[in-house]
Structure formats: structure tokens, C-alpha cells
């Protein structure tokens, strides 16, 4: 009798070793890492999910996956340097090894959005968590109506993925002359000739069917609150509004309670949540 190999059991509390295959500096304080699994199969994920990245001897942090779900052999994360662990991650070089737990959390509702117009709104480092959703929409462009990406950054120097933004302008287009990618900055510098102002100012001119529109948003919570208000003015039902909450996640599996938001644990029930789930809790300060 031939014995079959046992299936691989993934322990959510045990990091798997991944090797840094490529390092790309995006801005002065943002780096993208491409990782390859050292053992076991590639890590497959859904757009919107995150992993816990562990730097040996320093600690671990939750980071949204920013790569293409159809290319799981390279696990991609875009990281801003904001603390000891993220600084250690941003200082890694090709060939270094990190620990990876995951993927964790909920994902963007792209299947139920089929046939809808899709509006994505990102502020600053909020673009990387939306990037896998953009890749999905590109792979299945015929299944959706109009698609818009509204992106705001502090300055032109802080814009992420500028070359991809140019490509997406054409590949996401639904009609000749359409401008599906709209970018604004808080403060113009150099030869910037684009929009200046809040990302919410890009919502009013959109051509959408409000009753059949799904909106996805990531960014500072104050930005998301004002974005929701503008989207509601356009008539988009609040149950079609989704946001990624990334509050104070520590364990990723709902054990420690650090990320509790009302009745929800952001790491387990989120990070992607429908607005009605968090409406009453978004004004509560993180502690």
C-alpha cells in the first residue's frame, strides 16, 4: 500500500521563513519587499488580506499584502518606516530571511461587486492594500462597470507606484477619453501640474450608477469618514461602502484583544469591514 504524504498544516502562530528576493525603494520612507517561501508552497491570499511579518530579534507587525493574487510565488508588501520593526523591515537586503504568518483577515467583496461600478479611494500608504484589488479588476475587467481609483498623497514625492498609475489610467479605462485614475496632493512641488486638495474633492465629478456602485477605501480614519460622507451624498448605499481598518493588531487571530472595535476584532473580523459594521465605532479613539 502506497502511503500518501500528509497535508501541510499551517500553524497560524508559527512564522514560516521567507527570503527577500527583491527590495524596491518607493519613497524616502517607503519600501516594497518581494518575498519567496523557503519551505512549503507559495502563500495564496485574497485582495485585502494581511500577514504578520517577523524580523528575528526585533518583533513582528501586520502588513497588508500589496502584490498580485495571481502571482503568489512572490509575496509582496509595501511598508512605511514608522517604528522599530518597520524600520528593520525597510533596512533588509536581498537574501535576508523574515518570518511570515498568514494570510489573515477578511477581503474586498470583489465577487459580489461583479456588474457594479467600482470606486476605490486611497490616502497615502492606503494605496498598497488596494493594489491587489486593482490587479483583480484588471484580470477580470469585463466583469465590472466603470472603475475609478482616487488617490491622494501629501506631496508629489510621496506618490506610490507612479509608473503603474500611468498604466492603470489606460488599462482600467471603460471608454475612450475616460480618466479612471485621479490623483491629488495636499501640497504641490516642483513641476506638479495635477490636482491639489483633498481626495474627497475627486468624488463629485464621477460618472457612476449610485445604486450599483461598490466603494473600497483605505487611509487615515478621518479621511475615510469624510470619504463616506461624500459617497453617501452621491447616493451610494452604505452597505456598499467598505473600508480597511488597521487598528493596533498584535496577534492576528483575535486572542489578545488589542484591536477590539466594539463587537469586532479587526484582525479576525476585518481588516475589510462594511461601513454599517463600524458606523458607531469609527469615532472612538484607538488606545
* 6 has a pLDDT exceeding 50: no
Note the pLDDT tens digit of each residue in 16-40. 999 999 999 999 999 999 999 998 8
Cis peptide bond N-terminal to 287, omega within 30: no
- How far, in Å, CA of 40 to CA of 242, rounded? 33
Q: What's the confidence (pLDDT) of residue 166?
A: 94
Query: Would residue 102 be called left, alpha or beta, if left means φ above 0 and alpha means ψ between -120 and 50 degrees?
Result: left
Task: Look up the pTM and report it.
Answer: 0.92
Note the pLDDT tens digit of each residue in 215-267. 999 999 999 999 999 999 999 999 999 999 877 777 877 778 777 777 777 77
The CATH class that applies to domain 117-244 reads: alpha beta
The terminus-to-terminus CA distance of the chain in angstroms comes to 58
Q: What's the confidence (pLDDT) of residue 10?
A: 60
Domain ranges of the chain: 16-104, 117-244
Q: Which three cell numbers stand for residue 54?
A: 517577523
Quick check: 148 and 120 in contact, CB under 8 A? yes
Is residue 237 packed enough to be buried (19+ CB in 10 Å), middle (13-18) or exposed (0-12)?
Answer: middle
The answer to whether domain 16-104 and domain 117-244 are alike in fold is no
Long-range contacts of 191-198 (CB under 8 A, 24+ apart): 192/156, 194/156, 198/152, 198/223, 198/226
CATH classification for the domain delimited by 16-104, as one of 2.130.10.10, 3.30.450.40, 2.40.30.10, 3.40.140.10:
2.40.30.10
Q: What's the confidence (pLDDT) of residue 284?
A: 65
Q: Which three cell numbers stand for residue 61?
A: 507587525
* 3 has a pLDDT exceeding 90: no
What does the DSSP assignment read for the chain? -PPPPPPPPPPTTSPEEEEEEEEEEEETTEEEEEEEESSSS-----TT-EEEEEETTTEEEEEEB-S-TT-TTSEEEEEE--SHHHHHHHT--TT-EEEEEEEES----TTTTTTSEEEEEEEGGGHHHHHHHHHHHHHTGGGSS-EEEEEEESSGGG-S-HHHHHHHHHHT-SSTT---EEEEESS--TT--SEES-GGGGTTT----GGGEEEEEES-HHHHHHHHHHHHHTT--GGGEEEE---S-SSSSSSS-TTEETTEEHHHH-SEEEHHHHTTTTTSPP-
Amino acid at each position: 500500500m502506497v502511503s500518501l504524504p500528509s497535508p501541510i498544516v499551517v500553524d497560524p502562530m508559527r512564522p514560516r521563513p521567507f527570503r527577500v528576493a527583491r527590495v524596491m525603494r518607493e519613497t524616502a520612507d517607503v519600501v516594497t519587499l518581494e518575498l519567496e517561501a523557503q519551505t512549503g508552497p507559495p502563500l495564496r491570499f485574497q485582495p485585502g488580506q494581511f500577514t504578520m511579518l517577523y524580523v528575528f530579534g526585533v518583533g513582528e507587525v501586520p502588513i497588508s499584502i500589496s502584490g498580485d493574487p495571481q502571482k503568489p510565488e512572490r509575496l509582496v508588501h509595501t511598508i512605511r518606516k514608522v517604528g522599530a520593526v518597520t524600520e528593520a523591515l525597510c533596512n533588509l537586503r536581498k537574501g535576508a530571511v523574515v518570518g511570515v504568518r498568514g494570510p489573515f483577515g477578511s477581503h474586498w467583496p470583489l465577487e459580489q461587486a461583479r456588474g457594479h461600478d467600482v470606486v476605490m479611494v486611497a490616502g497615502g500608504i492606503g494605496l498598497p492594500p488596494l493594489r491587489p484589488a486593482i490587479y483583480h479588476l484588471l484580470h477580470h475587467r469585463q466583469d465590472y462597470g466603470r472603475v475609478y481609483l482616487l488617490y491622494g498623497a501629501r506631496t508629489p514625492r510621496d506618490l506610490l507606484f507612479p509608473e503603474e498609475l500611468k498604466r492603470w489610467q489606460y488599462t482600467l479605462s471603460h471608454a475612450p477619453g475616460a480618466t479612471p485614475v485621479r490623483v491629488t496632493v495636499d501640497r504641490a512641488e516642483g513641476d506638479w501640474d495635477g490636482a491639489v486638495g483633498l481626495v474627497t474633492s475627486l468624488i463629485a465629478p464621477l460618472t457612476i450608477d449610485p445604486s450599483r456602485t461598490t466603494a473600497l477605501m483605505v487611509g487615515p480614519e478621518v479621511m475615510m469618514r469624510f470619504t463616506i460622507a461624500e459617497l453617501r451624498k452621491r447616493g451610494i448605499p452604505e452597505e456598499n461602502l467598505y473600508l480597511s481598518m488597521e487598528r493596533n493588531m498584535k496577534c492576528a487571530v483575535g486572542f489578545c484583544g488589542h484591536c477590539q472595535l466594539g463587537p469586532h476584532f479587526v484582525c479576525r473580523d476585518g481588516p475589510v469591514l462594511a461601513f454599517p459594521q463600524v458606523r458607531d465605532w469609527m469615532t472612538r479613539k484607538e488606545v
